[in-house]
Structure 1
Amino acid sequence: MCRVVDLRQAVLAKNDGAAQALRAELTARGTAVVNLLSSPGSGKTALLERELTLARERGVSAAALTADLATENDATRLARSGVPVRQVLTDGLCHLEADMLGRHLDGWLPEGTRLLFVENVGNLVCPASYDLGESLRVALASVTEGEDKPLKYPTAFGLAHLVVITKTDIAEAVGFDEEAFRANVRRVNPGVEILRTSSRSGEGTGLLLDRALDIAAGARPHTPVMSHPADGHTQTHIHTHSHSHTHPHPAPATPAGPR
């Protein structure tokens, strides 16, 4: 069943409160959270495995939590990096929420962890509206997905502190127009940094880790122009699943015009 209703600021208030509390707790522990958002198949697991391996080699205390509806495939891959990894199975839920993240970190996250990478469920809609208490939010897109993804999913890209292009080694083969992609990113998130990466060729290896370490050291992330959906009136879709879990999905905001 799907119905469209109008809900105001209180829709995400509970999650936002949990996110603020989790952010304060982890900051006090010296841990910065990096929230990775992308569509399925973007290559974020491959990129994250490289970054985690490099973190271990550099002596950076890092950990990763990866979320999926089913299977522990991504956790198995990430564990090859040698850092602590935990899989979260969401039981059909298409995104992580702050209280869910907090419960899975409780008693598991090693003391002294400097960076916690959270690989969100592969989805550019639902996860974009949920603050997880992150210090750095990263939106990823592969060259195979097309140049218009930032316009189709303006909330995901518009709220990002950093945008990463993946699979650049095949950009020419698939006819990826990078300038058009960058222009579309600028339309929804002026001034955000865009990194080029390829897990296969090694291009951009370590750049995500470097940006995360800068934030952990106290650097201020990019400030998106777009406000969080909870800050104002939004149109919301509520999907009721057979397992009786109801969750709100604010619709993406209208993309800003060229700046």
Structure 2
Amino acid sequence: MCRSDVKQAVLAKNDDLAASLREELTRQGVTVVNLLSSPGSGKTELLGRVLARAVERDVPVAALTADLATENDAVRLARSGAPVQQVLTDGLCHLEARQVRGHLEGWLPADTAVLFVENVGNLVCPASYDLGESLRIVLMAVTEGEDKPLKYPTAFGSAHLVVITKTDLAEAAGFDEAAFLANLQRVNPGVETVRSCARTGDGVDTLLAHTLAARHAAPSHRPPLAPHPHGHHHHTAATTAP
């Protein structure tokens, strides 16, 4: 079997497990939200604000947060009062469905309504792996550049929702929001965007509302890992065997 066939087999196995996990969690009333971004986008801080707001409103939420090393993000997110568990990938640059399933067993509270999965900071490998999510959110800070969707079309093209973060820095960074939105629409026509700033709390309520809405109806936009509109092939990084 050639290397490309092995990669496709790995992805196919992951997709089957993800579909099974999504069906199982949906029956339990749990909506999974997969958060993707580059390192430094402010994803952890914003997620912490969303978790805290959910706790304030008595919405039962939980979070898995993934990193190659350290439990720093889990400690930060746990301050929200929500159940949080760290996933250490031991060098793997993305999460897979088997890892999510393994960490949920015996841990996820029975009444959980929304499970947030903070993926490894990376817009390449994680974009090709379905984790059993019902909602895929891609975040990008205003400091990252307006052409980001064109550079990472698989990630942005598979998003149900795109969140612009650190908007308080937009003017200082010279961020051209109109150009960014035009580029985003090229790879993902019709996708909705949310502007956010974790420092001020802007966008937190809107983001929470989107996740809660996903509990009652599948996103009307497009499913995770839908084909890129211009025929872009998903990056298929080799991975470790289960």
Both structures adopt the same fold (TM-score exceeding 0.5): yes
Name the structure 2 match of 1:157: 156
> Structure 1 or 2: larger strand share?
1
Change (3 A) 1:157 1:59: same
- Following the alignment from structure 1 to structure 2, what is the Cα–Cα distance between the partners of residues 15 and 93? 15
SS across alignment from 1:64? strand
Change (3 A) 1:52 1:233: closer
Name the structure 2 match of 1:141: 140
Change (3 A) 1:20 1:162: same
- Following the alignment from structure 2 to structure 1, what is the Cα–Cα distance between the partners of residues 20 and 135? 16
Cα deviation, residue 69, structure 1: 0.1
Change (3 A) 1:236 1:85: closer
Per-residue CA distance 1:9-53 (angstroms, 9 max, x = gap): 544110000001100110010000000000000000010000000
Q: Is the 8 A contact 1:189 1:224 kept in 2?
A: no
Cα deviation, residue 6, structure 1: 3.8
- Following the alignment from structure 1 to structure 2, what is the Cα–Cα distance between the partners of residues 178 and 144? 11
In the alignment, residue 194 of structure 1 is paired with which amino acid? Answer: T
Q: Is the 8 A contact 1:192 1:224 kept in 2?
A: no
Cα deviation, residue 5, structure 1: 4.9
Name the structure 1 match of 2:184: 185
Name the structure 1 match of 2:109: 110
Name the structure 2 match of 1:53: 52
Change (3 A) 1:225 1:212: closer
- Following the alignment from structure 2 to structure 1, what is the Cα–Cα distance between the partners of residues 39 and 97? 21
- Following the alignment from structure 1 to structure 2, what is the Cα–Cα distance between the partners of residues 89 and 50? 22
- Structure 2 spans left out of the alignment, 5+ residues: none
| Superposed counterparts of 1:27-66, under 5 Å | 27-66=26-65
Name the structure 2 match of 1:126: 125
- Following the alignment from structure 2 to structure 1, what is the Cα–Cα distance between the partners of residues 42 and 167? 11
Cα deviation, residue 206, structure 1: 1.3
Residues 1:168 and 2:163 aligned together: no
SS across alignment from 2:25? helix
In the alignment, residue 28 of structure 2 is paired with which amino acid? Answer: R
SS across alignment from 1:94? coil
Name the structure 1 match of 2:221: 222
Cα deviation, residue 233, structure 1: 9.6
Cα deviation, residue 236, structure 1: 5.8
- Following the alignment from structure 1 to structure 2, what is the Cα–Cα distance between the partners of residues 222 and 101? 24
Q: Is the 8 A contact 1:188 1:226 kept in 2?
A: no
Change (3 A) 1:178 1:235: closer
Change (3 A) 1:147 1:19: same
Cα deviation, residue 238, structure 1: 4.9
- Following the alignment from structure 2 to structure 1, what is the Cα–Cα distance between the partners of residues 223 and 24? 24
- Following the alignment from structure 1 to structure 2, what is the Cα–Cα distance between the partners of residues 25 and 233? 31
Task: Report the RMSD for the aligned CA atoms in angstroms.
Answer: 2.3
- Following the alignment from structure 1 to structure 2, what is the Cα–Cα distance between the partners of residues 207 and 188? 23
- Structure 1 spans left out of the alignment, 5+ residues: 248-259
Name the structure 2 match of 1:206: 205
Cα deviation, residue 219, structure 1: 4.6
Q: Is the 8 A contact 1:69 1:90 kept in 2?
A: yes
Identity %: 66
Runs of 4 or more, structure 1, over 6 Å off, are none
Q: Is the 8 A contact 1:190 1:224 kept in 2?
A: no
- Following the alignment from structure 2 to structure 1, what is the Cα–Cα distance between the partners of residues 155 and 57? 31
